Amino acid sequence: MTTYEWTVSAEQKQERIDKLLTQLEEWSRTQVQQWIKEGHVVVNQKATKSNYKVEEGDVIVVTIPEPEPLEVEAENIPLDIVYEDEDVVVVNKPRGMVVHPAPGHYSGTLVNALMYHCNDLSGINGVIRPGIVHRIDKDTSGLLMVAKNDKAHESLVEQLKAKTTKRLYKAIVHGIIPHQHGTIDAPIGRDKKDRQSMTVTEENSRDAVTHFTVIECFDKFTYVQCELETGRTHQIRVHMKYIGFPLAGDPKYGPKKKTLDIEGQALHASVLGFEHPRTGEFMEFEAPLPEDMVILLDQLRK
């Protein structure tokens, strides 16, 4: 059981408690609301509700329950393990694989495969997401770090918060970007018109920063490298659309008309670097482009 405690500052007063907690920690609003409903969140030693607006001086205590026994089945699914030791696993996830079970995807996920491959995974993220420190979308390929114990998990999460990890992505986007480098500093939140999508917005959003570098320009497309400073849901996809260069093949944020032969967005997590949670050594890994993106680039160069 893990306990967190905060005292509300003057700047935080009148904020909804469920929203405030998602700003203080990398928790989803749905998860926070569930904890509040189950009585794991108290304000001034009393139960609260998700819509409670905090006051200056309020003492908030969140007690995260121990994870329930995992009911997700281990499955013998081949994994591309780039690195593994007693604390961490680095996996090169293929395009099309969901990271963790969710409604509609209770099998065939990276978690199902990891449970077969590893006897030990961190329990911090609970029943459905053991060991998962960060995610990449189903149709994004590339590198993910996975924690094999709670101490490693906490270290990796802290590094993500402190922005000391290195995360580079390769992407193919629509249009010709006219400059070599750029930084997109635009907050991301839920799209009011479509709750399944994210958008750049000032309302109920979180800071998001993406740096990009042009690798190669083609007739109607650009091959870019993106570096994440923050890690918001769909961040690169949302940011590139925001500046007018949506990802090729992106079914959610790209043009409706499909112009390139690829299933899902042309996005690959190519480089991952972090400080080893036990030794303190900075480790960096690189995964080659998946075959479908290699073929796309060959076609664009013709």
* Helices 17-24/29-37 angle, 10° precision: 120
**Which tokens is 159 given?**
């590094």
Sheet of 41-43: strands edge to edge? 2-7, 59-64, 41-43, 46-47
Q: Which residues, other chains included, contact 288 with Cβ-Cβ below 8 Å and sequence gap of 6+?
A: 270
Phi, psi of 185 (to 5 degrees): -115, 90
- Which residue in 18, 87, 137, 292 is the catalytic one? 137
Cα distances (angstroms) measured from residue 35 to each of 2, 27, 91, 115, 124 = 13, 11, 30, 26, 14
The strand pair at 46-47 and 41-43 is best described as antiparallel
Torsional class of 123: left (φ above 0), alpha (ψ -120 to 50), beta (otherwise): alpha
Is 137 designated active site? yes
Q: Which residues are catalytic?
A: 137
